[in-house]
Structure 1
Amino acid sequence: ATAMMIPAVVLLVVAAFAFGPCSFVNGFNVPAIPTHAANGKCIHLGKTLEPYVWTPMDHPVCGSLVCNYETKLVYAHYCDPERRPREGCRLIPGNPDALYPGCCEQEHCP
């Protein structure tokens, strides 16, 4: 039984590295999870640091990819210098915490 557990542990470690290291962004140490876009990263903008699940989707107003933390409605933006979202664009209408003006500027996208 012990021999069967070893591949699972190795797989877990490999998977952890595959999702990339943590990036210190906007004052929070959060995982930088690659999306299907080249060199793209989903940056967590909320204040929750517990494990979460990202869902890539297109935002109709911003035209950029956003990542939806479904269970707690914490939102992030898709950081790509080539596709900067519009200034002051809201992910959730009426929610001031979902504002990300200039969020894809270089200092926020390592």
Structure 2
Amino acid sequence: MSAGGGQAVMALREMGVVDVTGVEVVESLPLVVRGDPHHLEFFDGVFGFVFSANLDQALFKEKYVKEMERCVRDGGVLAVCVDSEVKEVVELFRMSRFLLAENVTLVGTKMTMVVMERVGGVS
């Protein structure tokens, strides 16, 4: 989500993830399709993994996270890289449980990656 020019999409493909879809307000084909991260046009539970490095910039963080959780199937993984406090981020996820948080460097920027697992419930 909020894939920008597709750098994360390309990195995932280079790591061997074949089926990757990047979404951004401005299309950047072939890696990124146009879409609003607050209103994704995907079926419920369609993905096994959702990643975003732009939760901190989301206009409506709760809605952004709700869309992430809606699109991930039960048992699927959600990961966000943020500058925010881990506790604040974890509290945004209503249908997921905390797995881990660790410091990472993403495109030369130090951030915290928070990883959650979708545990079910009504979206």
Task: Point out the structure with the larger strand share.
Answer: 2
Fold similarity call, TM over 0.5:
no
Larger radius of gyration: 1
Provide TM-score, normalisation by structure 1: 0.30
